Structure 1
Amino acid sequence: MKEIEIKLPKMGESIEEGTIISWSVAEGDEVEQDQTILEVATDKVDSEVPAPANGTITQILVQPDEVVKVGQVIAKMEVGEIQSSKNKATPKTLEKETSKKTAPKAVKKPVSTSNSNSSSSYQINSNQNTFFSPLVVSIAKQHHISFEELARIPATGNEGRLRKSDIFKYLEEGRPAQFAQPVPEASGFQVPNLKLDKGKGKIVEMDRMRQMIADHMVFSKHTSPHVTAYVEADLTDMVNWRNANKKAFQEKYGEKLTFTPLFVEAVAKAVKDFPMINVSVDGKNIIVKEAINIGMATALPSGNLIVPVVKNADQKDLQTVAAEVNALAEKARNNKLKHDETSGSTFTISNVGTFGSLMGTPIINQPEVAILATGIIKKRAEVMEYEDGDKIEIRQMMYLSLSFDHRVVDGFLGGSFLRRVADYFEDFDVEKTF
């Protein structure tokens, strides 16, 4: 028998770390090769990590909610044939074991509540729990937050631990404890403790994905100054063409023809026309992306949203885009999406019309700089201009809204891009073949 190390495997391109969700085994359990031993969360997708060989788990080195790097040793096992099923791993067997373990090593620093250069008398009591996860430390470094300041941020995690959402909320509030004093001054500004009446009712705890979405949305609003522009588009030609061809399209390719691939196709063309909408911000630098990868916000059975991605959408024909859109949507409905299928987007479309909304004000999917919302397609009487005079006709109309990051996208670029998308929708080729 020999002991080997189990390391967190690479779970997708550009993925450098993951959060431990739960172990399916405990120390002393016998496992078979490829048997799932734990679940790991990366962004919005959960992944299962299999055992690398037959053997016995001898040591578990990381605990649930810890953030670990790809390649980091997470457990150890003795390799060999399984002798019996007596200690074979079953889900939840770790429950009793974890209570006996000591807390994992954490980043700890002495916390000081004094600052002789402080200009504010705002006071927050220091947190007793100075466990700072690697993710929290990373965010603190990005925003130049000291360990002393971290200790002053109100924590809502288990056992008083500081969560990512706590830091983002604190940043959104303007870092009120940045220069906190150990003892409140008799005079000076005091941040009021507003004891708001939140009402009474059933308490529903957010699931892990909802917490991650909340953190991501708060981070986006904090990072990007959002501006939203609107246009209206006449989709009559597109709607009529789709209605006339969807049956033949499905018979020929075995794929449903929804509006989404038509939207993706048009948006990819517009992005190609305006490459500065296809960028991300890195400090003082702007990264202009080479690929045009269109994300499409999709609802999961739980009601949460996820963004599967059509890679290189500008290089694919309609039937290929339709097949990918249908496959990704089906995987989303069955919670089968892989991390690579939800990463790498450079621009996102959110079809709020699916829920009957007339229009929306979408929040940018970081690190992108713009997101398009498409509203419901609705029949309406419109005045149409012709050479022989104006006429009132029933047209298929839709509102488009574009939220963009005003740090790098000004009104001219944002408005011009949005108008170009609407033009592609309106100037749909009714002679289009497939």
Structure 2
Amino acid sequence: MSQTEFKLPRMGESITEGTIINWMVQPGDSFEEGDIIVEVGTDKVDNEVPAPFSGTLIETKYNAKDVVKIGEVIAILKASEGASKKDVKNNIEEEIKTAPTAKKASKVVPKQSGAVSSTYQVPVNRTNKFYSPLVAKIAREHHISYEELARIPATGKDGRIQKSDVFKYIEEGRPAQFAQPVAEAGYSIPQLNLDKGKGKIVEMDRMRQMIADHMVYSKHTSPHVTAYIEADLTNMVNWRNANKESFQKKHGEKMTFTPLFVEAVAKAVKDFPMINVSVDGTYIIVKENINIGMATALPSGNLIVPVVRDADKKDLLNLAKEINELAEKARTNKLKADDTKGSSFTISNVGTFGSLMGTPIINQPEAAILATGIIKKRAEVIEKPEGDTIEIRQMMYLSLSFDHRIVDGFLGGSFLRRIADYFEDFDINRKI
């Protein structure tokens, strides 16, 4: 039986590359159809890639920690005598039918990024800021903003940046990632040798590195503005306390605050559709679906964002079922790529950790993110027709970080106020 190329299959609609975590089968080892050949990590979750047929692993093309594009040949397999050529071809085509068909790109292994070379000159007079679709695609895959693209020296005609310019810049370790252009000729950005202190050295795991990269990318892409508001959750808290046991007894599902928050936020997003957007160059994409992401802590301490799709179309019971299922998957490290893709707005419940409020970082490419603080009893002045009274109320701070490129203060403030209104106007007599 002839040898067959084994390509990295697509692992989600938005996934363009993966990191080889571990080869489960070594060269020379045999395997059965369905056996896990390799573990691959993406910016969402880890995936196990099964064998498309029975056979032997002849050669691996990449090592652990290597970053591989979807559709790249990662190994050479030899099918066992029992598998026909037609079966092997069909199985392989099924594995890679949605993978890119572009020519194999040269593998880019960047040097350590974050520091700016003391001799690196940031271009300040570039007038040609046209970027081809290929250059824009490479930039997105490597989390390079348009602002950073403008700092890359261009060698193309009329000052146009080329693919080779971007790859060369990445190979150099993205030396201008945090630099600002300076107009004075001959000025070099200084290399700051800061004292980082002494102590135990702990290497970031792969997911923490990706989170760090994603957070830095978000802060350097979107001008963040954070607005705050206070909401009276007394009705919501009293209703949940009165109905959580009967809800679980009747439906077999726990009633946490999360589905109540998601329900209210989805309604507010529907009222203000320009919050449910993303930026694509000079265009704004207004999303058709309201998919709410929930920032969730994993057992490792890392953060992941499971997604409740079409949250505005689901009743409270279905929201509770889906949220409980996603939370359980997160706790047991069983989330799949499809569970974490496609969010259009994210909620981060910092109150879970006892925080009064937070200043969340936008989950790119979304336009805004909500942080819900701890629910705390406090004496409040309540205005009534017969006069003011002081009562014990269940209060919570809400904070909304939004991308000021596309969301102004009026929209951000109005949207945040609408969420608080839905929280405060919760029906205390609502049936379960």
Distance of 2:355 and 2:145 partners within structure 1:
40
Q: 1:199-278, aligned counterparts within 5 Å?
A: 199-278=197-276
- Alpha-carbon distance in 2 for matches of 1:53, 1:361: 50
Letter in 1 for 2:79: V
**Among residues 325, 336, 349, which one is paired with 2:323 in the alignment?**
325
Structure 1 residues 269 and 115: alpha-carbon distance in aligned structure 2, compared to 1, 3 A threshold: closer
Provide the C-alpha distance between the structure 1 equivalents of 2:382 and 2:261, rounded to a whole number of angstroms: 24
Q: Distance in 1 between matches of 2:33 and 2:349?
A: 43
Task: Choose from 178, 182, 193 the match for 1:172.
Answer: 178
Task: Write the letter of the residue equivalent to 1:173.
Answer: A
Displacement after TM superposition at 1:40 (Å): 1.1
Per-residue deviation at 1:39? 1.2
Cα offset for 1:194?
A: 2.5
Distance 1:237 1:62 in 2: 57
Contact 1:31 1:55 in 2 (8 A): yes
Superposed displacement of residue 7, structure 1: 1.7
Q: Which residue of the partner structure matches residue 106 of structure 1?
A: 107
Distance of aligned partners of 1:357 and 1:331 in 2 relative to their CA distance in 1, 3 Å threshold = same
Q: Distance in 1 between matches of 2:190 and 2:76?
A: 51
Residue 348 of structure 2 contacts residue 372 of structure 2 at CA under 8 Å; is this kept in 1?
Answer: yes
Taking a change above 3 Å as real, the CA distance of residues 278 and 116 of structure 1, as seen in their structure-2 partners, is: closer
Q: Does 1:69 align with 2:33?
A: no
Task: Report the AA paired with residue 171 of structure 1.
Answer: Q
What SS does structure 1 have at the residue aligned with 2:215? helix
Q: Which position in structure 2 is the counterpart of 1:196?
A: 194
Mapped contact 1:298–1:332 kept (Cα < 8 A): yes
Question: Which whole-Å deviations, capped at 9, do the CAs of 1:226-262 have from their partners, x for residues lacking one?
Answer: 0000000000000000000000100011010000000
Q: Provide the residue aligned with 1:288 in structure 2.
A: 286
Please state whether the residue corresponding to 2:380 is helix, strand or coil.
strand
Residue 152 (structure 1) shift = 7.0
Partners of 1:115 and 1:230 lie apart in 2 by: 41
Q: Is the 8 A contact 2:122 2:176 kept in 1?
A: no
Identity of aligned residues (%): 66
Return the alpha-carbon distance in structure 2 between the equivalents of residues 24 and 17 of structure 1. 19
2: CA distance between counterparts of 1:300 and 1:233? 28
How far apart are residue 197 of structure 1 and its match? 1.3
Give the partner amino acid of 2:50: P
Deviations 1:10-43 (A, max 9, x none): 2123333322222222222211211111111121
Give 2:180's aligned amino acid: G
Q: What are the ranges of 5 or more consecutive residues in structure 1 without an aligned counterpart? A: 83-103, 121-133, 154-160
Q: Which moved more, 1:56-65 or 1:317-326?
A: 56-65
Q: Write the distance in 1 (CA, Å) between the matches of 2:168 and 2:180.
A: 16
Q: Would the aligned equivalents of 1:44 and 1:212 in 2 still touch at CA under 8 Å?
A: no
Residues of 2 paired with 1:106 and 1:309: CA distance? 32
* Amino acid across the alignment from 1:420: R
1:316 aligns with 2:314: yes
Runs of at least 5 residues in structure 2 that lack an aligned partner in the other structure: 83-104, 110-117, 126-137, 154-163
Check 1:332–1:117 CA distance in 2 against 1; reply closer, same or farther (3 A cut): closer
What residue number does 2:18 align with?
18
Decide which moves more: 206-215 or 63-72.
Answer: 63-72
The question of 1:416 aligning with 2:417 is answered no
After TM superposition, the structure 1 = structure 2 runs for residues 287-366 of structure 1, keeping only pairs within 5 Å, are: 287-366=285-364
Deviation at 1:175, TM superposition (A): 6.3
Q: Amino acid of the residue matched to residue 11 of structure 1?
A: M
Letter in 2 for 1:233: A
**TM-score normalised by length of structure 1:** 0.80
Deviations 1:353-382 (A, max 9, x none): 000000000000000000000000000000
In structure 2, C-alpha distance between the alignment counterparts of 1:107 and 1:201, rounded to whole Å: 33
For 1:8 and 1:226, the matched residues in 2 are separated by 36
Structure 1 pair 294–79 and aligned structure 2 pair: CA distance change class (3 A): same
Q: Is the 8 A contact 2:24 2:36 kept in 1?
A: yes
Question: Residues 325 and 204 (structure 1 numbering): CA distance in 2 closer, same or farther, change over 3 Å?
Answer: same
Question: Following the alignment from structure 1 to structure 2, what is the Cα–Cα distance between the partners of residues 191 and 336?
Answer: 45
Contact 1:281/1:367 (<8 A) preserved: yes
The answer (yes or no) to whether the contact 2:122–2:181 under 8 Å persists in 1 is no
Q: Give the counterpart of 1:386 among 363, 384, 387.
A: 384
Deviation at 1:141, TM superposition (A): 9.5
State whether residues 23 and 37 of structure 1, in contact with CA within 8 Å, keep that contact through their aligned partners in structure 2: yes
Q: What TM-score comes out, normalization by structure 2 length?
A: 0.81
Instruction: Give the superposition deviation at 1:420.
Output: 0.2
Question: d(CA) in 1 for partners of 2:289 and 2:387?
Answer: 45
